[in-house]
Amino acid sequence: MHYKAHTVKAAVETLTDLRERLASAESEVEGLRRLAETMPNGVNGKSFADSLPKAEADRDKAAANVADAAADLVKVEARTMQDVLRKVAALLAGDPPEGAFEALTSEAKRILEQDDPVIELAQRQMRIRDFLNSTPNMEESGWMPEDPRVGDAIDALIKLEREIEKTPPRTPEGLAMMLDVKWRETLDVTPGTDIWASIMDDPETRFLATLRYGAHTLAGRKRDFEKLD
């Protein structure tokens, strides 16, 4: 019997549940065997040995269901590295199907090498922002586009920021860079300063900071602050 699941999480939950059923079936078989040895005449004329064949058949069926569920888990597409790790942990808890880890290695490689359009867009946006920050006509009130290149850069910056907002990230790195863009677009504040303490009183700002912090952690990127408080 195959247990088709559409997500890795659901497939892992199914496999875990079936393993618990298998453990229960194995325990029942072992218990009946001990009773058959210690009480060969059974109870009230009913032999424990007579119950063993059905219990063993149930155990074998449960074992087959576990094997099917493990095979199905291997086939469910991992969408993130977290999915891959879930699959590895679940399969290591039992007997992995043949070729399982070769398939998982291939999945991990695919995910690590997949393109994330947000990364390229964010890199372009950051290069433009660095250019604007380096121009001599930067004032507290904003950019003063005396140089036509500055005006063009501002237009390109705004266009890229809007495009980034409409592009779903596909990787933790892309998510981290998207939140970097949003943070620097609105709240480029140095942690630990009085201004930082002030803006952290705003729930929406703190939520954005928490998201950015978490995204950097998931992506394995260096964070510019170690805690939010």
To the nearest whole percent, how much of the chain has pLDDT over 90?
24
**Which residue, 54, 87, 113, sits at the end of a domain?**
113
Confirm whether 225 is domain-assigned.
no
150 in any annotated domain: yes
Residue 19 domain boundaries? 8-113
Residues 103 and 184 in one domain: no
Q: How confident is the model at residue 4 (pLDDT cuts 50, 70, 90)?
A: low
106 and 200 fall within a common domain? no
Residue 145: what pLDDT? 56
Residues 101 and 144 in one domain: no
Say whether both 102 and 161 belong to one domain. Answer: no
Assess if residue 1 is contained within a domain. Answer: no
**Is pLDDT of 225 > 60?**
no
Tell me, yes or no, whether 29 and 84 share the same domain.
Answer: yes
**Domain assignment of residue 3, yes or no:** no
- Determine, yes or no, domain membership for 137: yes
Q: What is the pLDDT of residues 163-182, one digit of tens each?
A: 998 998 888 888 888 888 88
pLDDT of 62: 96
Regarding whether 153 and 211 lie in a shared domain, the answer is yes
Residues 60 and 74 in one domain: yes
pTM for this entry: 0.59
Mean pLDDT across 204-227: 76
Residue 23 pLDDT class (50, 70, 90 cuts): very high
pLDDT at site 219: 78
pLDDT in tens, 7-20: 999 999 999 999 99
Q: Which of 113, 139, 154 is the last residue of a domain?
A: 113
**Is 15 in the same domain as 82?**
yes
How many CA atoms are closer than 13 Å to the CA of 181, on its beta-carbon side? Answer: 28
Residue 226 lies in a domain: no
**Domains in the chain, number:** 2
The neighbouring-strand residues paired with 139 are: 142
Q: Does a structural domain hold residue 224?
A: no
Q: What is the mean pLDDT of the chain?
A: 83
Strand ranges (E), 104-183: 138-139, 142-143
Residue 229 confidence class, pLDDT cut points 50, 70, 90: very low
Q: Which of 87-91, 109-113, 117-121, 157-161 has the lowest mean pLDDT?
A: 109-113
Does 53 map to a domain? yes
Q: Which position has the token pair 């997949």?
A: 114
The residue among 40 and 76 whose pLDDT is bigger is: 76
pLDDT recorded at residue 141: 44
25 and 109 share one domain:
yes
pLDDT of the residue at 54: 93
Q: Is residue 134 pLDDT above 80, yes or no?
A: no
Estimate the share of the chain in helix, then strand, then coil, as percent rounded to the nearest 5: 70, 5, 30
Do 30 and 50 sit in the same domain of this protein?
yes
Please, what sign has the CA dihedral across residues 208, 211, 214, 219? Answer: negative
Of the residues 98, 113, 128, which one is the last residue of a structural domain? 113
Amino acid identity at 188: D
Q: Does 215 share its domain with 122?
A: yes
